Structures are given as structure tokens and as C-alpha cells.
Amino acid sequence: MTEERPDLSQVLIRCVDGQARRAHVTVGHVGIAENGHHEGGFLIAYQPGEPAQDNVISGNTIGTDPGRTLELGNGWSGVWIGGPSNRVTDNAIADSGDSGVTLSDQSALGNELYGNIIGTPSGEPALGNGLDGVRVQYGISGPPAGNRIGHPEAPNIIVGNAGAGVRVIDGSSNEIRGNSIVGNGGLGIDLGAVGVDPNDTEDADTGPNGLQNCPMLQSVTYGELSTEIDGPFHAQPHRQFWIDFYGSEAGDPSGYGEGEYYLGSTSVETDAFGNAWIWFEYPGVALFPSATATASDGSTSEFSGVISNLQEAEDMLLMQGPAGEIQIDYTPACGATDHVVYYASSWGPLPGGVNWTDAACFLGATGMAVFDPGEVAPGSWVYFVIVGQNYLFEGAYGESSYGAERPEAIAVGACERSRLISPTCP
């Protein structure tokens, strides 16, 4: 059965004591606006012993108008599911006070979310959902399991939400693959407590999705026609995993990835010690690559840390303001998500290398920054260098007149990082 009810502000598919059960329902082309009761758009609800199931919600605009320009959001989730085997496909879900889609309760089993726009794509009005794009959480009787959020051939676009792109607070075997997840307030995928979950030995910890370990990308190499990505992976011994790779136009400020576009996947099997080596080649340029791991039971990890090659910032121009502040204009270093300025003063030209003594941290990657170097003694010389950074490393300091790389700042400033210069960069 297909229901087309464009004037409806809420659709409830619910089973109560075996009465008024609505299963095998297809709902399409419904415009869901604020209903004045702070409830959700679609509620596929649970009643003990009689969950609403096998329903399809497809082709709807939820929380905004069809052009995705108006704020018509629901006070709760755009779609709330507490039953099994439902499909949510090809909807636009925006401006909800809660998460875009919520999967809740142990009856939320085997649901599928494919091809939806959850949040606000770049260039559109800011109509992201108030919490996470998708939230998986404990319900009345237990945690959800076995749900599929995206597929490489049917990805969701999850962007511009206030919290995580996908947050799995409770539950297991929830598969998150192939989506475009970018520009959300939290992590792209967040398991359990808010923030990055560290990998552990043989992935022995427990929690949402088993707190599945993520890959550790080590290097990215750019060729004329391809990008090679590799690194170690450590998890439970003698297990098979899908490793999905993603790229983004910019690095996430957390240093851990989101995945703006899907690159592809490879499979690995860990050895007796839980170790495997991953290698992937993408036929094109993949900026800021990251990866996830999905176990054979469907449990997907958080995104790995972003890796990028780092080179030298260029075309540095400094101007001093009336209060002594320094404005620096520059061409950002290739592969950098942030920059730092190291500086030092002397009473004349230095015959050798500079010993950097101070740092201005977290200057961004916009090509312009302003910082205060403090008081400088009259007549002294001040030397500056701007260095690109990502979440783990910093890049080149540039070459001296002798053609040698300028010395690294060691233990200078709170943001100093180990230097890693890569020979190639797109």
C-alpha cells in the first residue's frame, strides 16, 4: 500500500497490543513539517511482541520544503524507528530538533538506510539536524543490532548536522559503509562516548559495535594517474574485515576522518597476533584519505586518522601592525590542515641555522593569519618560518641558502610536532 498525504505533519506506524498494526506500508511523497507537539516526522514504533516492521519510507521531504530552503523542522527526530526490517530510502531529512534518523530498541533489527540526504549539503541553507545525522541507541527493551546505514552502491549524504555524522551509542553489528559524511559538528562516525576511541590490543574491549578498531593509515603516495594508501591494521586474530577508503577536500579539525567521497574497499584477514597490512590503489587523486574497518558481523569502526603528505608553505609576506601584531600572508603547505609560525630573535644576521624559541600555534590554513610575537628589543632581528601541520606531523621548514632543510623546532610551543616531509603531493 502506498500513502500520499502531503498535508500531513506526522505519520505514525505503530502496533499497540496487536491492534492497529501497520506493517508492509509504503509511505511516499509526504511533506513533514513542524506539528506543534514537538514530535517526530515518521515514527515506526515498538510495542512488546508486536513491532511495526517491513515498512518503506521513500521519496519524502522531512523537516523542510522540496527545495530544501525552508525551516519546517520537527521537534524530535525526522524518522524514528523501533521495529525490524524497515527501509528508509531516498528522503531529504533536515532541521529536526533531535537526530535526523534514530534507531532505538532491540526490535530495531535489520533496518536499512540508503540514498538519503540527512542534513544540509554544502551551498544550501543551514538546515542540519540538531543532534546527530543518524543515532543508534538503547530503547525500552534493549539496543539495536544488524542495521545497515549506507552501502557503496546506495550511499547516504550525511552533512552539516550539529553532532556526529553517525553515532552508535548502543548496539552491535551496525554497518556503516559507502556514505558521504562531512562537515558535521562531531566525528564522522562516533562509537560510544563522545570522542575518538583508541585502538586496543587484539580489539579485546567491548561496547557499541564492539568498539571495533580502525585502520592506521601510514602513507599516501601520489602517482601520475593514481593514489596508493597503505598502513597497518590490528584487531581480533584470524578475522576477516572490509576496509573502506574515503577522501575529503579538507582535513577534519579533529585529525580523525570524515569521508566526503568513497574511494573503494579491500578485504584483509588478520594473523594469529591480530595484525594485517592494508594496501589500496585509487585511480585518481585522493586528498586527505581515511578508512574504516567493518568486521564480518557488520560492526563498523570509527574513521581512521587522516593522513596527508606535507610540504612547504610558500610566498610568505609579513606586515607589522600599529600595535606590534604581525599579519602573515602565505600559500598554504600542500597537505596541511593547520599552520604554525616559529620565530626567534638575535642581535644580527645569524651565520648558521636558527634556533627557534617561540611559536604561534593553530593559525589555520586560509593563507592569512595574525599573531602577536610579543615585545622585540630595539635593534634586534626576528626570524620567522611558517610550517604546515596535520594531526600528527608537520612539514618542511624550507631550505637555507646552502640548499639544506632549515632546522626543526624541538619542544617549542604546545603545538610542536615531529617533522615528516613527503616527496610527493597533489
- Asked whether residue 120 is domain-assigned, the answer is yes
Query: Within a domain: residue 338?
Result: yes
pLDDT at 403: 74
- Residue 280: inside a domain: yes
Are 231 and 345 in a shared domain? no
121, 270: one domain: yes
Cell numbers 527501509 correspond to: 87
Provide the CATH number for the domain around residue 408.
2.60.40
Tell whether 123 and 28 lie within a shared domain: yes
Q: Answer yes or no: is 303 within a domain.
A: no
CA distance 357 to 225: 42
* 349 and 266 housed in the same domain: no
Q: What is the pLDDT of residue 66?
A: 80
- Tens of each residue's pLDDT in the chain, 426 residues: 334 333 333 454 443 333 333 444 444 444 444 433 335 567 776 555 566 788 899 998 888 878 777 777 777 889 999 889 999 999 999 999 999 999 998 889 999 999 999 998 776 778 899 999 999 998 766 788 999 999 999 999 999 999 999 999 999 999 999 999 999 999 999 999 999 999 999 999 999 999 999 999 888 887 778 889 999 999 999 999 999 999 998 777 777 878 999 999 999 999 999 999 999 999 988 888 999 999 999 999 999 987 777 788 889 999 988 888 999 999 998 878 889 999 988 766 665 567 889 999 999 989 999 999 888 788 788 889 999 987 668 888 887 767 778 888 999 988 998 887 766 666
From the CB of residue 412, how many other CB atoms can be counted at a distance below 10 Å?
17
Residue 369 parent element (H or E): strand 368-371
Do 290 and 323 sit in the same domain of this protein?
no
Within a domain: residue 426?
Answer: no
Answer yes or no: do 39 and 83 share one domain: yes
Instruction: Mark which of 265, 295, 325 sits at the end of a domain.
Output: 295
- The total domain count for the chain is 2
> Does 359 lie in the same domain as 280?
no
Domain ends where: 263, 295, 327? 295
In a domain, 116, yes or no: yes
DSSP state, residue 208:
G
Nearest-CA neighbor of 52 among 4, 27, 18, 3? 18
Same domain assignment for residues 326 and 285 = no
Q: Are 290 and 246 in contact (CB under 8 A)?
A: yes
Q: Does the residue 390 lie in any domain?
A: yes
In the numeric block, which cell numbers belong to residue 258?
570524515
Task: Quote the pLDDT of residue 21.
Answer: 39
pLDDT of residue 348: 62
- Is residue 64 within 8 A of residue 93, CB to CB? The reply is no
Domain that holds residue 353: 314-419
Query: Domain check: are 62 and 206 in the same one?
Result: yes
Does residue 304 lie in a domain region? no
* Distances from the Cα of 52 to the Cα of 41, 49, 74, 161, 294, angstroms: 16, 10, 21, 28, 28
Helices (H) and strands (E) in the chain, counts: 0, 34
Question: In this structure, are 336 and 284 located in the same domain?
Answer: no
User: In this structure, are 371 and 284 located in the same domain?
Assistant: no
Smallest CA-to-CA distance from 43 within 86, 71, 10 is with 10
Q: Are residues 219 and 285 in the same domain?
A: yes
pLDDT at 139: 75
